[in-house]
Amino acid sequence: MPHPAPSPLYPPLDPFDQRMLEVPGGHTIYVEQCGNPEGIPVVVLHGGPGGGCSPAMRRYFDPAVWRVILFDQRGCGRSRPTASVENNTTWDLVSDMEAIREVLGIEAWVLFGGSWGATLALIYAEEHPARTRAMALRGTFLMTAAELDWFYRGGAGQFWPELWDKFIGHLPEEERADPIAAYHRRLFSGDLAEETRFARAWAGWENALASIDNDGATGDGASPTARAFARLENHYFSNGGFLAEGQGILDRLDRIRDIPGVIVQGRFDMICPPSGAWKLSQGLPKVRLQMIPRAGHALSEPGITAALVQAMQEMAETLPR
């Protein structure tokens, strides 16, 4: 029986610093640091919105070289209050990143994020280009109506019709034309049992399509985790990512044209199709697009994992300490 290929990830490691940071609007966010306290700062931006960070995310960086900062965004993970959408917008998260950077005494850092984490990285970079040294993005999501329509109005469902039928089957027929709005009414109904039931269905649809090797299992996960994930994600998507006219990522690429980086994109990403990564790369001459064959959306895809680890090794060699 063949042995599995060795993982390119670095060994597990523990944080050297963990703290709860109070931020405006009644939120307290979890922040941790690991690796080399004198290393190159990199901030890890998790997906969702509402996904939370995990110990595995620490392992993409050489701990002798990188000072790795992870945090749970408002309303999820170890941040409090859980599943809260009050004072929880893209711009609040950008402000939180600046608060973390200032508290930790970091002049500028590298941004590392996938899916919604890539969205937040790009919006932060466009707002604070002088604080952004480089970017490593994965599974690019540009927060456009076309991308939301693809995933929530039947585009991806053309490939997974049985799972799409299950996802919209929770809704009355007259509400199925706009699943985001229909799920919103139930995720914020005030009935905990109903919110939890629909949260598991919302999270299950996304989980089922994350990996190219997935067999269609929905992997709904623990109810409190699913509820925070679904409520936050739906809240952001219902509001178009809180991006006003002219604030779209592609509208402001001129602000980050000189920032170097890499985009790692799964060729068969069902959640964030490769067209977004391609469009983004065309406007960023110093960012390299690396398309990974036989890979989907998930950070844990073997090809994506290997490409990101290698990208961070190469970036460490080129960035001045």
Q: What's the pLDDT tens digit per position in 205-260? A: 999 999 998 776 655 555 678 999 999 999 999 999 999 999 999 999 999 999 99
Q: How confident is the model at residue 6 (pLDDT cuts 50, 70, 90)?
A: confident
Residues 6+ apart with CB under 8 A from 196: 223, 226, 227
Alpha carbon separation from 211 to 167, 180, 215 (Å, rounded): 18, 22, 9
Q: Can you read off the two tokens belonging to residue 20?
A: 């709860």
Best CA proximity match to 210, nearest among 306, 294, 300, 91: 300
Query: What pLDDT does 111 receive?
Result: 99
Mean pLDDT of 292-302: 96
Longest dimension (CA), the chain: 58
Instruction: Give yes or no for a contact between 315 and 286, defined as CB atoms under 8 angstroms apart.
Output: no
State the alpha helices, DSSP H only, in 153-293: 161-168, 179-187, 192-208, 223-238, 274-282
- Residue 222 is predicted with a pLDDT of 59
pLDDT for 175-204, tens place per residue?
999 999 999 999 999 999 999 999 999 999
The whole-model pTM stands at 0.96
Percentage of the residues of the chain whose pLDDT score is greater than 90 = 93
Count CB neighbours of 268 within 10 A: 16
**What is residue 321's predicted lDDT score, i.e. its pLDDT?**
73
- Six-digit token pair at 109? 């850092």
Dist. CA 175–CA 177, nearest whole Å: 6
Residues with a catalytic annotation lie at 115, 269, 297
